[in-house]
Amino acid sequence: MVYDGNLPATPTLAWFDRDWWLSRDALRTAAGGRGGVAHLDTPVGACVLRHYHRGGWMAPLLDDRYVWNGRSRNRGFAEFRLLGELAARGLPVPAPVAARYLRRGPYYTADLITRAIENAQTLTEVIQSQRFDAALAEQVGALIARFHAAGVDHADLNAHNILAAGGALWLVDFDRGELRVSGTAWKLANLARFKRSLLKVGACDHDETTLDREIWTPLMRAYERTLGTEA
């Protein structure tokens, strides 16, 4: 286990047990499935516990198991370190609290606890409530540009992983994310993936022509402006 040594309370392995929180009436909500999360009331404040699950064609075979390739390279520790670095740079990410892995032979499972972004909605929820407009698109474009200017390659940039809270935007879920020194291909791939996700969740009624005109154009305008400023 690793944890933030500056916390007012020291996390223990019990913190990664949903039933332990439930027994203390401190489990707010829990969801299963890939990326299943539990919202917790902890001694250090509201937090989110995520158990790592596989996606894609490997999910039915291994579910939440990953091949062991060294202590420092497990998914939870890697994301914990990356979030700590990004938070230190002032980027809007959930602060890491603790991470742990359990090794079983050639495989391991992993968990991560981060600070919760209170009263947040995903961009998907905003889109589905018909509140995604050009002004918000510009905010999103500027958000993505800040991370790209810092060399952050988000492996799964989509509408579910952008949170809106109190007029601000946050980027979450940095599993398999990494810091890059240079390059443009990965940035373009991030943007293309994000655009596909907007269409998939129903932005502009899945109409790409309308999306380009009403959302993507102002988004990219803000993206390019912010990228130039941050550079």
Query: Which residue out of 4, 17, 41, 156 is catalytically annotated?
Result: 156
Given this model, what pLDDT does residue 30 score?
A: 65
d(CA 13, CA 164): 31
* 210, two tokens: 């309308």
Residue numbers in the chain where pLDDT is lower than 70 = 30-35, 57, 59, 231
What's the CATH number for 121-230?
1.10.510.10
Given this model, what pLDDT does residue 70 score?
A: 87
Instruction: For residue 175, give every residue at least 6 positions away whose Cβ sits within 8 Å of its Cβ, in sequence order, or none.
Output: 52, 75, 79, 155, 156
Given this model, what pLDDT does residue 60 score?
A: 72
Q: pLDDT digits over 102-130, tens only?
A: 999 999 999 999 999 999 999 999 999 99
d(CA 202, CA 124): 8
Given this model, what pLDDT does residue 34 score?
A: 44
**Are 87 and 93 spatial neighbours (Cβ–Cβ below 8 Å)?**
yes
Phi, psi of 32 (to 5 degrees): -95, -165
Architecture of domain 2-115: 2-Layer Sandwich (3.30)
Spell out the domain ranges in the chain: 2-115, 121-230
**Are 162 and 143 spatial neighbours (Cβ–Cβ below 8 Å)?**
yes
Residue 156 is a catalytic residue: yes
Within 13 Å of residue 62, how many CA atoms lie on the same side as its CB? 17
Instruction: For residue 226, give every residue at least 6 positions away whose Cβ sits within 8 Å of its Cβ, in sequence order, or none.
Output: 141, 142, 145, 146, 149
pTM, 2 dp: 0.93
